[in-house]
Amino acid sequence: MVSINGNPIDDVLDYRFYMTDRQLQIELLRQNVPYIVKVHKGEYDDLGLEFDTYLMDKQQNCKNKCIFCFVDQTPKGMRESLYFKDDDARLSFLFGNYITLTNLEDRDIQRIIRMRISPINISVHTTNPQLRVEMMKNPRAASSLRYIQMLTEGGIKVNTQLVLCPGINDGEELSRSLRDLGALGENLQSIACVPVGLTDYREGLYPLRTYTAPEAAAVIDTIDAFADEVQKERGVRVAYPSDEFFLLAGRPIPPVEYYGEFDQLDNGVGLMAQLEQEFTSACSLCDPCPLTRKVSIATGVLAYPLLCKLAGKAQELFPGLTVEVHRIVNDYFGHNITVAGLITGTDLMAQLKGKDLGEALLIPNVMLRHEQDMFLDDVTLEEAQAALGTPIQVVENDGFSVLSAMTGQEI
């Protein structure tokens, strides 16, 4: 495909943008022979074309060397795709990936604005230009900060994330980043603050450490002080600590009202509050009744207390139901990694082998790769089931699905 209505088609964004017209003149090239195809269609009709790759183009990789990069701390020998560092604005639009803006030019930003590709998810980390360069080890990390303002002034909504490293971009630096981002106005949709994730595989990498409880609490307080102010003006908090910060600080997860539109669920912001609320709603739809059933749940250290609470509620509602929650410690990456999404099949099998898991072992779908057939370490679902001698049921991360899976009943 060369062009649509005279507009060159370089990638899937051009294609999607220009094919919305009702009358299309499409220039195609087959074995160097040009063809013109005319199409009359409805405004929202798709042309039904599929391309070799979803971008119709090579995926752009990242040009940074962030001091906290998770890819750099991934143990050797895992599947190749886990070592690919993408930083592609098109993936931000298509799949919500976060981008750093460091490999973009002014014309790329203008194209995003022209095509109204919104929202864009941006890894900011700090708005201090010099510090951003030091953290991302890329001189362009400073100048590319101005693109955030260009985008918001151009009418593009942005979600931002700050990966916080103790003593580096928290404290006063965090306050400055929040202030600068807050000044972007209404098109700044959200700011997620997540603690740096450290595996046991950091040999030769920048020396970083995890948050202590008082430090995590100080981060929450800094964000909350800013968010309280914004809430007075805009009615939403805008800036949120991730669920992990509350766990690190030993504080309870806030209620759902705290999270506004839940713009940052993919960053682990508000996931637990939402799950609990959905689960409570699901329970309210059920009449208490006895049930003879035993199931197990596997989860990470982070969500373990919440799932125990949900299991307790379900057992109260359905006498005779037994739900055992198993806390899987991440031996594969290291014990600082607490999220369920990074639990491997190896750890699951090693820690649950020989246990009576009941009728089924429930695992959250985030434990498996996108195709839902394999764990991160390439252990297949079948292999794990065979090793544990129990059917594994993959459960969507919503409260209704969790209660349905616990009870074996459609809710």
Number of Cβ within 10 Å of residue 45's Cβ equals 12
**How far apart are CB 201 and ligand SF4 at their closest, in Å?**
14
One residue of 87, 243, 244, 263 binding ligand SF4 per CB under 6 A: 87
Interface stretch with ligand SF4, choices 32-40, 64-72, 325-333, 396-404 (CB under 6 A)? 64-72
Q: Is 100 in the site for ligand SF4 (CB under 6 A)?
A: yes
Interface stretch with ligand SF4, choices 41-49, 61-69, 153-161, 384-392 (CB under 6 A)? 61-69
Separation in Å, CA 202 to CA 68, 69, 73, 376: 9, 10, 5, 19
Interface stretch with ligand SF4, choices 11-19, 21-29, 63-71, 307-315 (CB under 6 A)? 63-71
Q: Is 69 in the site for ligand SF4 (CB under 6 A)?
A: yes
Among the listed residues 182, 272, 262, 275, the one whose alpha carbon sits nearest the alpha carbon of residue 222? 182
Pairing of strands 33-40, 392-395: unpaired
Pairing of strands 3-4, 7-8: antiparallel
Residue pair 44/20 in contact (Cβ under 8 Å)? The answer is yes
Fill in the per-residue mask, 303 to 342: x = in contact with ligand SF4 (CB under 6 A), - = not in contact: ----------------------------------------
Among the listed residues 392, 338, 323, 383, the one whose alpha carbon sits nearest the alpha carbon of residue 362? 392
Give the whole-angstrom CA distance, residue 51 versus residue 337: 37
Compute φ and ψ for 255, nearest 5 degrees. Answer: -70, 165
Q: Is the Cβ of residue 68 or residue 246 nearer to ligand SF4 in the bound state?
A: 68
One residue of 17, 27, 54, 65 binding ligand SF4 per CB under 6 A: 65
> Helices 399-407 and 271-284 sit at what angle, rounded to 10 degrees?
50
Q: Is 122 in the site for ligand SF4 (CB under 6 A)?
A: no
Compute φ and ψ for 49, nearest 5 degrees. Answer: -90, 145
Q: Is 64 in the site for ligand SF4 (CB under 6 A)?
A: yes
Q: Which alpha helices (H) appear in 137-186, and where do they start and end?
A: 140-143, 146-153, 171-182
Among the listed residues 185, 190, 127, the one whose alpha carbon sits nearest the alpha carbon of residue 153? 185
**How far apart are CB 64 and ligand SF4 at their closest, in Å?**
4
Amino acid at 170: D
**How far apart are CB 343 and ligand SF4 at their closest, in Å?**
21
Residues linked to residue 25 through DSSP beta bridges, in sequence order: 38
Count of residues interacting with ligand SF4 (CB under 6 A): 9
One residue of 16, 41, 85, 313 binding ligand SF4 per CB under 6 A: 85
Q: Is the dihedral of CA 263, 67, 299, 222 positive or negative?
A: negative
Fill in the per-residue mask, 21 to 60: x = in contact with ligand SF4 (CB under 6 A), - = not in contact: ----------------------------------------
**119 cis-preceded (ω within 30 degrees of 0):** yes
**How far apart are CB 111 and ligand SF4 at their closest, in Å?**
21
Q: Is the Cβ of residue 71 or residue 289 nearer to ligand SF4 in the bound state?
A: 71
CA contacts within 13 A on the Cβ side of 275: 25
One residue of 36, 71, 225, 289 binding ligand SF4 per CB under 6 A: 71
> What DSSP designation does 228 have?
H
Residues 356-375 that bind ligand SF4 (CB under 6 A): none
Cβ-Cβ contacts under 8 Å for 235 (sequence gap 6 or more): none
Among the listed residues 87, 85, 176, the one whose alpha carbon sits nearest the alpha carbon of residue 132? 176
Q: Is 103 in the site for ligand SF4 (CB under 6 A)?
A: no
Q: Is the Cβ of residue 64 or residue 401 nearer to ligand SF4 in the bound state?
A: 64
One residue of 4, 62, 104, 165 binding ligand SF4 per CB under 6 A: 62
Q: Is the Cβ of residue 87 or residue 173 nearer to ligand SF4 in the bound state?
A: 87
Interface stretch with ligand SF4, choices 65-73, 237-245, 260-268, 312-320 (CB under 6 A)? 65-73
Interface stretch with ligand SF4, choices 66-74, 154-162, 363-371, 390-398 (CB under 6 A)? 66-74
- What is the number of residues in the chain? 411
**How far apart are CB 69 and ligand SF4 at their closest, in Å?**
3
Residues linked to residue 23 through DSSP beta bridges, in sequence order: 40
One residue of 9, 66, 219, 283 binding ligand SF4 per CB under 6 A: 66
Footprint on this chain of ligand SF4 (rule: CB under 6 A):
62, 64-66, 69, 71, 85, 87, 100
